[in-house]
Amino acid sequence: MEDLISAIKKVLEQVDVVLGWARSEAAGVAAPAFFHTPAEAEGAIFDSTCVHNLAVHLPRLADKKAGIVAKGCDARSIAQLIAEGIIKRERVTVIGVACPGVIDVKKAWRCFGFGKRVSDSGGQVAMEGKTVKREEILLRKCRGCREAGPVIRDVTVGEVGKAPAAPADPAGIRKRFAAMSFAERRQFWQDQFSRCIRCYACREACPLCFCRDVCTMQAHEPGWSGGATNSSQSWMAQLVRISHMAGRCTGCEECERACPVGIPLMLLLEEQNAVVEELFGYRAGSGTEAKTPFLTFDVNNDSWEQER
């Protein structure tokens, strides 16, 4: 923690604000924090409850010089924001941290009860006497983590270089979904989206959903989805978001984590990311110069329809 605090203090000499985490005493886990002064930076922490993707705040700080503490997955979002020209590389200082994988805080609360202080050491997550193996409550994205450290970083804290070792996903909903017929999947989504309350938390938590003032999910014109909270309109609204994330989603899983009713949005985004990678060999957030595959084309090699 000392390394992180001194790194933040050092970066603060050159920037207006550093985005990081501090402990929330009320919730017992990490909460996002804005550090403006070295004194504030004393409270900085990084542990496996630092789940949030802080890159979501960067578009709103585009007129300031900002520092940001970033895990591997967060750095991808920052790289994608830079590649899309939303933020400028020279205005953001990335403090890359070595990430051991973060935990699903909701699962931890289910194990321990809300509001108790969570501590984490040596693969065990503990709280008031109770312990759970960290790998049992890891966030799902960490199980398939391919990040050997943050893709862009100006300062590095800790030893980066390899992705956290984690057991494979215990399948569950993914396995069930894969076995479903087309009709069953339609029914599945209809059931899932009947719970949607149209709070747009998925959009607010997404670092790449930055056009909030004119969001098509919500706009009356051209009226893609209407404003009602019925299953088909909510479904259409989500399809708007998912199609706008094509070739841009870095898979940080913030939408699914933020969803208050637990709709498994990543089933669709993961599928889309896999298709984009298969068709174009492209992963969003791989670099600051990358071009989204849907803004370009390849006359000679784009010929999938000839196979049919």
Partner 1 sequence: MTEPTTRIIGFLCNWCSYAGADMAGMSRMRQPAGVRIIRVPCSGRVDPLLVLRAFQEGADGVLVSGCHPGDCHYGSGNYFARRRLELLKRMLPALGINPERFHYTRVSATEGARWAEVVSAITERVKNANDND
Point out which residues bind partner 1 (CB under 8 A).
181-189, 224, 232, 235-236, 239-240, 243, 246, 267-268, 271-272, 275-276, 279-280, 293-294, 297, 299, 302, 304-305
Going from the C-alpha of 71 to that of each of 48, 126, 142, 216, the distances in angstroms are: 11, 22, 11, 30
CB of 303 to partner 1, least distance (A): 8
Nearer to partner 1, 34 or 188 (CB): 188
In the three-class reduction of DSSP (H, G, I as helix; E, B as strand; rest coil), residue 132 is classed as strand
CB of 79 to partner 1, least distance (A): 22
Nearer to partner 1, 183 or 214 (CB): 183
CB of 56 to partner 1, least distance (A): 24
**Whole-angstrom Cα distance, residue 211 to residue 113?**
37
CB of 168 to partner 1, least distance (A): 21
Pair 249, 266: CB distance under 8 Å: no
Residue type, 73: C
Query: Rounded to 5 degrees, what angle do the CA atoms 72, 254, 109 make?
Result: 100
Tokens representing residue 159 in the block: 């030893």
Nearer to partner 1, 289 or 307 (CB): 307
Residue type, 279: L
Residue type, 189: W
Number of Cα atoms under 13 Å in the Cβ half of residue 33:
23
Buried b (16+ CB within 10 A) or exposed e, 275-308: ebeeebebbbbeeeebebbeeeeeeeeeeeeeee
The β-bridge partners of 157 are 97
Nearer to partner 1, 128 or 271 (CB): 271
CB of 204 to partner 1, least distance (A): 21
Tell me the DSSP string of 213-268.
GG-TTT-SSS-SS-S--SHHHHHHHHHHHHHHTTTT-----HHHHH-TT---THHH
Nearer to partner 1, 148 or 279 (CB): 279
**Whole-angstrom Cα distance, residue 16 to residue 37?**
9
Nearer to partner 1, 154 or 277 (CB): 277
CB of 215 to partner 1, least distance (A): 14
Nearer to partner 1, 60 or 185 (CB): 185
CB of 181 to partner 1, least distance (A): 5
Nearer to partner 1, 171 or 275 (CB): 275
The β-bridge partners of 120 are 125
CB of 154 to partner 1, least distance (A): 34
